[in-house]
């Protein structure tokens, strides 16, 4: 078991069967509180209102590009309760695809069912290319719009849900401080908020190292800010080379542009080094 004490084998079994899994009460209470305060601060300072599309939710506050909004958010993608599982699902060369918040306000209706990877033109079912990792910053309940999930739908072949499709769903209920992971092909949707309180969460969305990220991290986060990130977060943002090759800048590891020592590119390595790296990435 990893240092966090979470049995990743058991979690992986549930994830492979259902397409989602919850890690209950794994985030420190102080951090949950700090994130909620920071989300409210950013919303206030940037005068962020409701979104304008039904998909994003007309009674929903979404804040995109959270890494650019201060160090509190830097803690999320590298948190030891969540990253090891994501590395297990996608491998150690995964990237951060996007980091955003989704605050369902009172009166927000249900979102249409969808799969996060539905724009990727690869026949289904397929291995996970993306992994969503929802941090509950308030309790997630059926009443306040906990994410609706269609168990096993990540194994559906051939098509994605149309927005008018109806399916039996379960509610991803969990206490604040828990994390809900789902396979990018899983059919899911934000629920209906029938309460008079907000449902807060941060959506930490990872993708495989060979994919294009949903948010452009290089332009979204000023270089001077990215230089202050811990190395692992820089790598997750894409300041790294996939399989020692993809993403290089003029034949160098892009992390050198942040003032750090880079790794050798594939063609500078011995055959043994390449084979060892491939093995390490898959472990
Ligand atoms: O808010 C939620 O529970 C899920 C939202 C979602 O799936 C999305 O916006 O893509």
Residue 69 CB less than 6 A away from ligand 1: no
Calpha distance 150→142 (Å, rounded): 15
Nearest CA to ligand 1 atom 9: 56
For residue 269, the model assigns a pLDDT of 81
Buried-state track 157-186, b at ≥16 Cβ within 10 A, e below 16: eeebbeeeeeeebebbbbebbbbbbbbbbb
Residue 190 CB less than 6 A away from ligand 1: yes
Of 56, 111, 163, best ligand 1 pocket probe by most atoms within 8 Å of the beta carbon: 111
Mean pLDDT, rounded, of the chain: 94
Work out the average pLDDT over 249-267. Answer: 94
pTM of the model: 0.94
Task: Indicate the pLDDT class of residue 275, thresholds 50, 70 and 90.
Answer: confident
Closest CA to 39 of 120, 112, 119, 136: 136
Cα 161 to chain centroid, rounded: 21
Using only the alpha carbons of the chain, give its radius of gyration. 19
Of 144, 203, 214, best ligand 1 pocket probe by most atoms within 8 Å of the beta carbon: 203
Residue 148 CB less than 6 A away from ligand 1: no
Convert the pLDDT of each residue in 68-103 to its tens digit: 999 999 999 999 999 999 999 999 999 999 999 999
DSSP string, 46-74: TT----SSTTT-TTEEEE--GGGG-GGGG
Task: Indicate the pLDDT class of residue 215, thresholds 50, 70 and 90.
Answer: very high
Work out the average pLDDT over 202-209. Answer: 98
> Does the structure show a pLDDT above 90 at 214?
yes
Of 104, 130, 147, 172, best ligand 1 pocket probe by most atoms within 8 Å of the beta carbon: 147
Task: Among 13-22, 88-97, 214-223, 259-268, name the one with the lowest average pLDDT.
Answer: 259-268
Expressed in angstroms and rounded, the spacing between residue 84 Cα and the centre of ligand 1 is 23
Expressed in angstroms and rounded, the spacing between residue 9 Cα and the centre of ligand 1 is 26
Convert the pLDDT of each residue in 123-144 to its tens digit: 999 999 999 999 999 999 999 9
User: Of all atoms in ligand 1, which is nearest to the CA of residue 146?
Assistant: 3
Bigger pLDDT: 30 vs 5: 30
Nearest CA to ligand 1 atom 7: 189
For residue 163, the model assigns a pLDDT of 75
Convert the pLDDT of each residue in 37-60 to its tens digit: 999 999 999 999 999 898 999 999
Expressed in angstroms and rounded, the spacing between residue 147 Cα and the centre of ligand 1 is 7
Expressed in angstroms and rounded, the spacing between residue 6 Cα and the centre of ligand 1 is 25
> Does the structure show a pLDDT above 70 at 280?
no
User: Of all atoms in ligand 1, which is nearest to the CA of residue 145?
Assistant: 3
**What residues pair up with 183 in beta bridges, in sequence order?**
131
> Does the structure show a pLDDT above 70 at 283?
no
Name the fold adopted by 8-207: Jelly Rolls (2.60.120)
Convert the pLDDT of each residue in 150-164 to its tens digit: 999 999 987 777 777
Q: 3-state class of 267 per DSSP? A: helix
Closest CA to 208 of 240, 249, 250: 240
Strands (E) across the chain are located at: 20-23, 60-63, 95-104, 130-136, 148-149, 170-171, 179-183, 188-189, 201-207
Whether the bond into 203 is cis, omega within 30 of 0:
no
Q: 3-state class of 157 per DSSP? A: coil
> Does the structure show a pLDDT above 80 at 19?
yes
> Does the structure show a pLDDT above 60 at 22?
yes
β pairing state of 170-171 and 148-149: antiparallel
For residue 165, the model assigns a pLDDT of 79
Give the domain ranges of the chain.
8-207, 240-282
Burial class (CB in 10 A: 0-12, 13-18, 19+), 258: middle
For residue 272, the model assigns a pLDDT of 81
Residue 102 CB less than 6 A away from ligand 1: yes
For residue 1, the model assigns a pLDDT of 47
């Amino acid at each position: 078991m990893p240092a966090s004490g979470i049995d990743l084998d058991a979690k992986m079994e549930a994830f492979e069967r259902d397409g989602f899994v919850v890690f209950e009460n794994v985030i420190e209470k102080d951090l949950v509180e700090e994130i909620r305060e920071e989300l409210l601060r950013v919303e206030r300072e940037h005068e962020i209102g409701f979104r304008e599309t039904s998909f994003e939710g007309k009674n929903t506050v979404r804040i995109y590009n959270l890494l650019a909004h201060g160090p509190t958010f830097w803690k999320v993608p590298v948190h030891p309760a969540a990253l090891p599982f994501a590395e297990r699902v996608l491998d150690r060369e995964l990237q951060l695809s996007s980091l955003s918040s989704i605050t369902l306000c009172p009166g927000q209706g249900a979102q249409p069912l969808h799969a996060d990877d539905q724009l990727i033109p690869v026949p289904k079912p397929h291995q996970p290319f993306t992994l969503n990792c929802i941090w509950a910053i308030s309790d997630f309940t059926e009443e306040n719009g906990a994410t609706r999930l269609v168990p096993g739908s990540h194994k559906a072949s051939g098509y994605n849900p149309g927005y008018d499709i109806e399916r039996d769903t379960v509610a991803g209920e969990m206490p604040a401080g828990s994390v809900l992971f789902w396979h990018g092909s899983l059919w899911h949707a934000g629920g209906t908020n029938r309460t008079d309180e907000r449902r807060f969460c941060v959506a930490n969305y990872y993708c495989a190292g060979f994919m294009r990220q949903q948010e452009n991290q290089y332009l979204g986060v000023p270089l001077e800010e990215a230089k202050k990130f811990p190395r692992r977060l820089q790598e997750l943002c894409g300041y790294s080379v996939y399989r020692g090759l993809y993403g290089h800048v003029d034949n160098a590891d892009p992390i050198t542009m942040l003032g750090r020592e880079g790794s050798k590119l594939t063609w500078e390595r011995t055959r043994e080094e390449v084979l060892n790296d491939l093995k390490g990435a898959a472990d």
